[in-house]
Amino acid sequence: MSDRKITVEVIGDDAITYGSDILILKYAQNLYGLDKAVVTLFEQVGLSVKDELPKNGDYLIVDTQDSIGPSKVIFIGTPSLGGFGYKEIREFGRIAFSSLFEAGHSIKHISLTIHGSGYGLDEQEAFSSQLAGIIDAITSGQFPVGLQRITFLERVARRVPVLQRLLNNLLPNGYIETDPQLYFEGSEDSSKRMLREAGYTSENKPHIFVAMPFKDDMEDIWDYGIQPTVKTAGYICERADLSSFTGDVMDWVRNRIKSAEIVIADLTESNPNVYLEVGYAWGSGIPTILLINSESELKFDVRGQRCLKYKRIKDLERSLKNELDGLK
């Protein structure tokens, strides 16, 4: 196998309108988010694919007929969301590229999105797992003929620089080479070790589960106050939007709370789902850090509990760091 270099990038753009040869989507045995939006757009131009969507491990390639930006879409069948963890995300990355190799299409430019963060997984751990699966496929020669460029698309602007920095740490040169020794053998370089382990050891790493409202006006609290503080303390940082998912995803939430080192709960706005997660953590004996914006009011259930009050994100960052250091 001749040595090749395939450019990898993270950019801020919409996967539906962004032009590429093919867009990779997962189908987690139900339609959510981006895959649901794409299928809806297909139906508007007479492309009916719902009955053909793949079971776990299978794939379906569709010519988009100019209904969206990419020329083609490949749906990769995965386990349902409750069973789609870090290990499965790595496998998804590998299967997506090996499926394109198997299909025999000549493809220069692949686009895809980051999976996992939309329903609770640690976005950096999920991204590393997905990239590692892609490298697994490429270094074993399982990638489409003519491939030159892989573009990860992120629509949330504040996530783009975070993921770009992570990609630069994992692939300092900005490309994947086909030689497996460069990634999985020899050197104990931290980025290579992360790529070797990503997905395989993720579930067993110490993690903190965060219960908080999924609202636009709370995202800065998550992005700048909670998540980076938790990551700096050495934990995987996870959360889930209970209003969006049911069934086996709820089982995943319960399991991640029960196995968490700590649960952090922001009680601002008295969201009932957050109180539900706090109650489950207490019932499971998990240490819990309660947060609240100083202008909000505690409900009677937790009024007697110690709570870290904050007015500014900087206050939250400082008090949460001190609390995590104390619990360590």
For the residues 299-303, what does the mean pLDDT come to?
Answer: 60
Does the pLDDT of residue 187 top 60, yes or no?
no
Does the pLDDT of residue 225 top 90, yes or no?
yes
Count the helices and strands in the chain (H runs, E runs).
Answer: 11, 12
Question: What whole-number percentage of the chain has pLDDT above 90?
Answer: 66
What pLDDT band is residue 158 in, cutting at 50, 70 and 90? confident
Q: How far apart are CA 55 and CA 80, in angstroms?
A: 10
Does the pLDDT of residue 1 top 70, yes or no?
no
Classify domain 5-197 by CATH architecture: 3-Layer(aba) Sandwich (3.40)
Does the pLDDT of residue 300 top 60, yes or no?
no
Q: How far apart are CA 25 and CA 36, in angstroms?
A: 10
DSSP class per residue in 225-277: IIHHHHHHTT-EEEE--TTT--THHHHHHHHHHHT-SEEEEE-GGG-HHHHHH
User: Amino acid identity, residue 262?
Assistant: I
Give the residue with greater pLDDT, 62 vs 253: 62
209: its two tokens = 């589960």
pLDDT at 112: 98
Question: What whole-number percentage of the chain has pLDDT above 70?
Answer: 92
Contacts 24+ apart (CB under 8 A), 243-247: 243/214, 243/273, 244/119, 244/214, 245/81, 245/119, 247/80, 247/82
Does the pLDDT of residue 320 top 50, yes or no?
yes
pLDDT at 142: 95
Q: How far apart are CA 28 and CA 69, in angstroms?
A: 23
How many CB atoms lie under 10 A from the CB of residue 36?
Answer: 12
For the residues 32-37, what does the mean pLDDT come to?
Answer: 92
Element (H, E) at 324: helix 313-327
Each domain of the chain, given as residue ranges in start order, spans: 5-197, 206-327
Does the pLDDT of residue 246 top 70, yes or no?
no
Does the pLDDT of residue 231 top 70, yes or no?
yes
Top CATH class, 206-327 = alpha beta
Domains 5-197 and 206-327 in one fold: no
